[in-house]
C-alpha cells in the first residue's frame, strides 16, 4: 500500500496510519481470493450468470440485501438520518420489508419455477417482444448509470480518505471489481457480497455504539436532538424534535404538511408503489434469489434477507443522527451554515456525516475497519449492478436479438466481454458524474420511474390470464411516461426543470409520480386487454397463477422441514417483527 504513497496526495479527511492500511489491504486480498476460488467452479454460462443455481438460502439472502447496501444506501440514508431524523426508517420498514416478503411468498415461485434466467426473460415469456425490450433496455441502461454513480462515490471516498487522486481511485476500484467478476461471475459477486455484509456490520456497529456512548446513549441523543431543534434558527428549517424522533406520521420525510396525507403518501407511494416496483422486479436483487439451490431457498432468500434488513437502519440512520449533534461541521450545516471542506472539497454535505463521525470517534485500527467497510459497500453495489447487467445484456439482448443459437461457451465469453465493457462505461459515467453530479441525480430519479409501473404490469400479468401482450408494453410505456410527466409538473423532482404546477416537492413528488405510473399502468392495461386478443392458456403455464398447477409453485420437500426453515412461517415472523419496530419508534 505504501508504494502508493509516492502518488501526489491531497489533504485527507481522515488520518489513517499503517495499521489501518494493513486492515484495508487485507480486505482486498480476501476479495480477490474469493474471485480466484470461485473461478474454479465456473464451467458454463449458467455457472457464470446464475451461480449454477446452487447456493444455500442464507448466502443468497445476505447477498440479496448486500447488493442493495451500496453507496447510495449507506451514505444516502445516514445523510437523511442527519437531516430528517428517525423517519428515514420508512425506507426500510415500510419501503423494503413488506415488498421483500411479498416477493418471497407470492412472486418468487413464478420467477424460479418458470426457469427464466432473468426478470426481463419472464417479461418475454408472458408478454413477448415489446414489453421485453422496454424492460431489458431500460434495466441495462439504468444499471450502467448506477454502476457509474457507485464507482464515482467509491472513488471520491478513496480520494477523501486516502488522498489518492480521483482518477487513480476510479481505476483501481474498477480494476478490482472487474477482476473478481470476470473471474468468478455471479458466485464471486455473491460470495463477496456476503463477506462485505459482515465487514460493513463490523465497520458500522462499533461506530454507532461509540457515537451513542459519546452523546450519552439513546436518551442522550434524543435530548440533544430536541435541544438542537429548539435552538436552531428558523431559516434553517430544521424539522421539529417530534418529527425527528418519531417515525410516524413522517412529514419531515414525505414533505406533506398534513399528517394524514403524509401517512397515505408513505404507505401507498413509498410502501406500495415505489418499493414493490423496486424490490419485486429489480433483477439486481431477484438474480440473487435465482442463484439459490431450490424453489424453497429462492423463496426464503428475500425473507431471510428481511431480518438483517430491518436492523440495518440502526447502524446507518442512528450514526447519521449522532453526527448531526456531535460533529461540528454537520451541526453547523444543519443550523443553516455552509462549512468548508467535506469529501468533495466543495463544502460539507450531509453525505459526509458518516465520514466525519468516523474521523471524530474512531481510534486507528477501528478506523481501518470502517474504511474497509465503506469500500466494501461501494464495491458491493457496483458489482451487483455489473453482474446483473452482464446477464441481461448477454441473455436478453445479445442472445435474444443479435446472435442466436451459438454455443454456450460463446455466451460465456460475451458475458465476460460485457463485464469489461460495462466497467469501462462505468468509469466514463463516473467521470461525467464528477462534473455534473446534479444531472446524475435526476437521471437516477428518471430511471426510478421505469420501476414504478413494472410492478403493476407484473402483478396484473401474474394473476389475470386475460391480460394481453399489447397491454404489457402499452401499460409499461404509458406508466413510465406519466411518471415522468408528473415529475415535471411537481416542484423539484427534476430540479429547476420541474414546472411547479403541482405544489408538492421533496420525496412526496417521487411518491406522487410513482403512484401516477401505477394507476395509469393498471387502468390502461385493463382497457387494452379487453380490446386485444389474449395468449392461449397453454402458453401461460408457470407464468399465470390460475394456469399453473399448485405443485409447480411449491417445493415438495419443504413441508418436511422444521417451521423455522419454511417460507410462510418465516415471513410471518418477519412481518410481526417489523410491525413491532414500527410501533416502538
Partner 1 sequence: MTDPELTAPDPDDTRLTRHTAGAFDIRNFIGALIGIYGVVLTLMGLFGDKAYEKTGGVNANLWAGLVMLVVGAAFMTWARLRPIIVPDHVGRVLDDPTRPAPRRRGGH
Q: Which one of 99-107, 135-143, 205-213, 466-474 is the stretch in contact with partner 1 (CB under 8 A)?
A: 205-213
Interaction of residue 38 with partner 1, rule CB under 8 A: yes
Interaction of residue 328 with partner 1, rule CB under 8 A: no
Which residue among 125, 224, 309, 349 contacts partner 1 (CB under 8 A)?
125
What residues contact residue 194 under an 8 Å CB cut-off, 6+ apart? 59, 62, 63, 66
**CA dist., res. 151 & res. 158, Å (int):** 10
Interaction of residue 465 with partner 1, rule CB under 8 A: no
To partner 1, the closest distance from the beta carbon of 127 in angstroms equals 11
Q: Please give the size of the binding site for partner 1, defined by CB under 8 A.
A: 55
Which residue among 364, 477, 532, 582 contacts partner 1 (CB under 8 A)?
364
| Region of residue 570 (left: phi > 0; alpha: psi -120 to 50; beta: else) | alpha
Grid cell at residue 564: 423455522
Nearer to partner 1, 194 or 323 (CB): 194
Q: Which one of 68-76, 279-287, 354-362, 449-457 is the stretch in contact with partner 1 (CB under 8 A)?
A: 354-362
Which residue among 7, 9, 10, 40 contacts partner 1 (CB under 8 A)?
40
**CA dist., res. 380 & res. 420, Å (int):** 17
What residues contact residue 435 under an 8 Å CB cut-off, 6+ apart? none
Map residues 214-253 to x or -, x wherever contact with partner 1 holds by CB under 8 A: x---------------------------------------
What residues contact residue 565 under an 8 Å CB cut-off, 6+ apart? 300
The torsion angles phi and psi of 126, rounded to 5 degrees, stand at -85, -40
**Cross-strand bridge partners of residue 292:** 55
Nearer to partner 1, 139 or 450 (CB): 139
To partner 1, the closest distance from the beta carbon of 125 in angstroms equals 6
Burial class of residue 432 in the structure, from the number of CB atoms within 10 Å of its CB (0-12 exposed, 13-18 middle, 19+ buried): middle
Q: For residues 273-312, which are near partner 1 according to CB under 8 A?
A: 293
Q: For residues 381-440, which are near partner 1 according to CB under 8 A?
A: 399-400, 404-411
To partner 1, the closest distance from the beta carbon of 309 in angstroms equals 19
Nearer to partner 1, 124 or 278 (CB): 124
To partner 1, the closest distance from the beta carbon of 469 in angstroms equals 12
**CA dist., res. 93 & res. 75, Å (int):** 18
To partner 1, the closest distance from the beta carbon of 164 in angstroms equals 23
- In angstroms, the Cα distances linking 364 to 154, 155, 412 are 21, 22, 44
The torsion angles phi and psi of 55, rounded to 5 degrees, stand at -90, 145
Q: For residues 136-195, which are near partner 1 according to CB under 8 A?
A: 191, 194-195
Q: Which one of 66-74, 229-237, 358-366, 418-426 is the stretch in contact with partner 1 (CB under 8 A)?
A: 358-366
In 232-294, which residue ranges form alpha helices assigned H by DSSP? 241-245, 251-254, 259-264, 275-281, 283-290
Distance of CA 532 to the CA centre of its chain: 36
To partner 1, the closest distance from the beta carbon of 320 in angstroms equals 18
Nearer to partner 1, 492 or 558 (CB): 558
How many other CB atoms sit within 10 Å of the CB of residue 58? 15
Instruction: Label each residue of 178-212 as H, E or C.
Output: HHHHHHHHHHHHHHHHHHHHHHHHHHHHHHHHHHH
**CA dist., res. 415 & res. 411, Å (int):** 6
Instruction: Label each residue of 29-62 as H, E or C.
Output: HHHHHHHHHHHCCCCCHHHHHHHHHCECHHHHHH
Nearer to partner 1, 116 or 382 (CB): 116
To partner 1, the closest distance from the beta carbon of 209 in angstroms equals 8
Interaction of residue 561 with partner 1, rule CB under 8 A: no
How many other CB atoms sit within 10 Å of the CB of residue 522? 17
Which residue among 19, 72, 168, 232 contacts partner 1 (CB under 8 A)?
19
Q: Which one of 50-58, 332-340, 444-452, 568-576 is the stretch in contact with partner 1 (CB under 8 A)?
A: 50-58
Q: Which one of 25-33, 423-431, 443-451, 466-474 is the stretch in contact with partner 1 (CB under 8 A)?
A: 25-33
Grid cell at residue 24: 484495508
With beta carbons less than 8 A apart as the criterion, state whether 365 and 17 touch.
no
Nearer to partner 1, 356 or 426 (CB): 356
Which residue among 4, 115, 531, 563 contacts partner 1 (CB under 8 A)?
115
Task: State whether residue 67 is helix, strand or coil.
Answer: coil
To partner 1, the closest distance from the beta carbon of 200 in angstroms equals 12
Peptide bond between residue 509 and the one before it cis (omega within 30 degrees of 0): no
To partner 1, the closest distance from the beta carbon of 555 in angstroms equals 13
To partner 1, the closest distance from the beta carbon of 333 in angstroms equals 21
Interaction of residue 510 with partner 1, rule CB under 8 A: no
Grid cell at residue 235: 431559516
Question: Please, what is the Cα angle at 115 between 114 and 116, to 5 degrees?
Answer: 95
Nearer to partner 1, 193 or 521 (CB): 193
Q: Note the residue count of the chain.
A: 585
Nearer to partner 1, 126 or 566 (CB): 126
In the complex, which residues of this chain contact partner 1 (CB under 8 A)?
A: 19, 22-23, 26-27, 30, 33-34, 37-38, 40-41, 44-46, 52-54, 56, 59, 115-117, 121, 124-125, 191, 194-195, 198-199, 202, 206, 210, 213-214, 293, 360-366, 369, 399-400, 404-411
Amino acid at each position: 500500500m505504501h508504494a502508493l504513497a509516492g502518488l501526489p496526495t491531497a489533504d485527507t479527511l481522515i488520518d489513517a496510519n499503517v495499521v489501518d492500511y494493513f486492515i484495508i489491504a487485507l480486505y482486498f486480498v480476501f476479495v480477490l481470493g474469493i474471485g480466484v476460488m470461485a473461478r474454479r467452479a465456473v464451467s458454463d454460462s449458467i455457472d457464470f450468470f446464475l451461480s449454477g443455481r446452487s447456493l444455500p438460502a442464507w448466502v443468497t439472502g445476505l447477498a440479496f440485501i448486500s447488493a442493495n447496501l451500496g453507496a447510495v444506501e449507506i451514505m444516502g440514508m445516514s445523510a437523511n438520518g442527519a437531516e430528517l431524523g428517525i423517519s428515514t426508517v420508512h425506507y426500510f420498514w415500510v419501503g423494503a420489508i413488506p415488498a421483500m416478503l411479498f416477493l418471497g411468498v407470492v412472486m418468487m415461485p413464478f420467477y424460479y419455477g418458470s426457469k427464466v434466467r432473468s426478470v426481463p426473460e419472464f417479461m418475454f415469456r408472458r408478454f413477448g417482444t415489446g414489453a421485453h425490450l422496454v424492460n431489458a433496455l431500460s434495466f441495462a441502461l439504468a444499471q450502467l448509470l448506477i454502476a457509474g454513480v457507485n464507482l464515482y462515490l467509491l472513488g471520491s471516498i478513496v480520494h477523501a480518505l486516502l488522498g489518492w487522486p480521483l482518477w487513480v481511485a476510479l481505476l483501481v476500484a474498477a480494476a478490482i471489481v472487474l477482476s473478481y467478476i470476470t473471474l468468478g461471475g455471479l458466485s464471486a459477486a455473491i460470495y463477496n457480497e456476503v463477506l462485505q455484509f459482515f465487514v460493513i456490520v463490523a465497520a458500522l456497529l462499533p461506530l454507532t455504539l461509540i457515537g451513542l456512548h459519546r452523546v450519552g446513549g439513546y436518551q442522550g441523543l434524543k435530548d440533544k436532538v430536541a435541544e438542537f431543534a429548539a435552538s436552531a434558527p428558523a431559516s434553517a428549517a430544521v424539522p421539529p424534535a417530534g418529527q425527528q424522533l418519531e417515525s410516524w406520521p413522517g412529514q419531515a420525510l414525505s414533505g406533506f404538511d398534513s399528517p394524514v396525507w403524509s401517512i397515505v403518501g408513505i404507505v401507498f407511494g413509498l410502501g406500495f408503489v415505489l418499493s414493490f416496483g423496486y424490490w419485486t422486479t429489480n433483477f439486481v436483487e431477484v438474480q440473487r434469489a435465482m442463484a439459490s439451490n431450490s424453489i424453497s431457498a429462492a423463496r426464503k432468500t428475500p425473507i431471510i434477507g428481511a431480518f438483517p434488513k430491518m436492523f440495518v437502519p440502526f447502524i446507518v440512520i442512528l450514526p447519521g443522527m449522532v453526527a448531526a449533534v456531535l460533529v461540528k461541521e454537520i451541526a453547523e450545516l444543519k443550523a443553516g451554515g455552509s462549512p468548508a471542506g467535506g469529501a468533495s472539497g466543495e463544502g460539507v454535505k450531509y453525505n459526509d456525516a458518516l465520514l466525519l463521525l468516523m474521523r471524530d470517534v474512531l481510534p486507528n485500527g477501528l478506523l481501518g475497519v470502517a474504511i474497509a467497510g465503506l469500500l466494501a459497500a461501494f464495491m458491493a453495489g457496483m458489482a451487483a449492478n455489473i453482474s446483473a447487467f452482464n446477464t441481461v445484456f448477454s441473455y436478453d439482448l445479445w442472445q435474444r436479438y443479435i446472435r442466436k443459437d451459438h454455443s454456450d461457451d460463446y455466451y460465456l465469453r460475451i458475458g465476460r466481454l460485457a463485464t469489461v465493457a460495462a466497467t469501462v462505461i462505468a468509469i466514463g459515467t463516473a467521470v461525467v458524474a464528477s462534473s455534473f453530479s446534479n444531472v446524475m441525480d435526476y437521471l437516477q430519479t428518471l430511471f426510478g420511474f421505469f420501476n414504478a409501473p413494472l410492478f403493476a404490469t407484473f402483478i396484473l400479468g401474474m394473476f389475470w390470464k386475460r391480460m394481453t401482450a399489447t397491454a404489457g408494453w402499452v401499460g409499461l410505456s404509458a406508466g413510465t411516461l406519466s411518471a415522468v410527466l408528473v415529475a415535471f409538473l411537481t416542484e423539484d423532482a427534476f430540479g429547476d426543470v420541474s414546472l411547479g404546477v403541482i405544489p408538492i416537492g421533496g420525496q412526496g413528488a417521487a411518491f406522487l409520480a410513482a403512484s401516477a405510473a401505477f394507476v395509469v399502468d393498471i387502468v390502461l392495461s385493463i382497457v387494452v386487454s379487453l380490446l386485444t386478443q389474449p395468449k392461449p392458456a397453454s402458453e401461460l403455464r408457470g407464468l399465470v397463477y390460475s394456469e399453473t398447477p399448485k405443485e409447480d409453485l411449491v417445493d415438495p420437500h419443504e413441508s418436511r422441514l422444521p417451521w423455522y426453515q419454511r417460507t410462510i412461517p418465516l415471513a410471518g415472523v418477519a412481518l410481526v417483527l417489523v410491525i413491532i419496530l414500527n410501533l416502538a419508534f
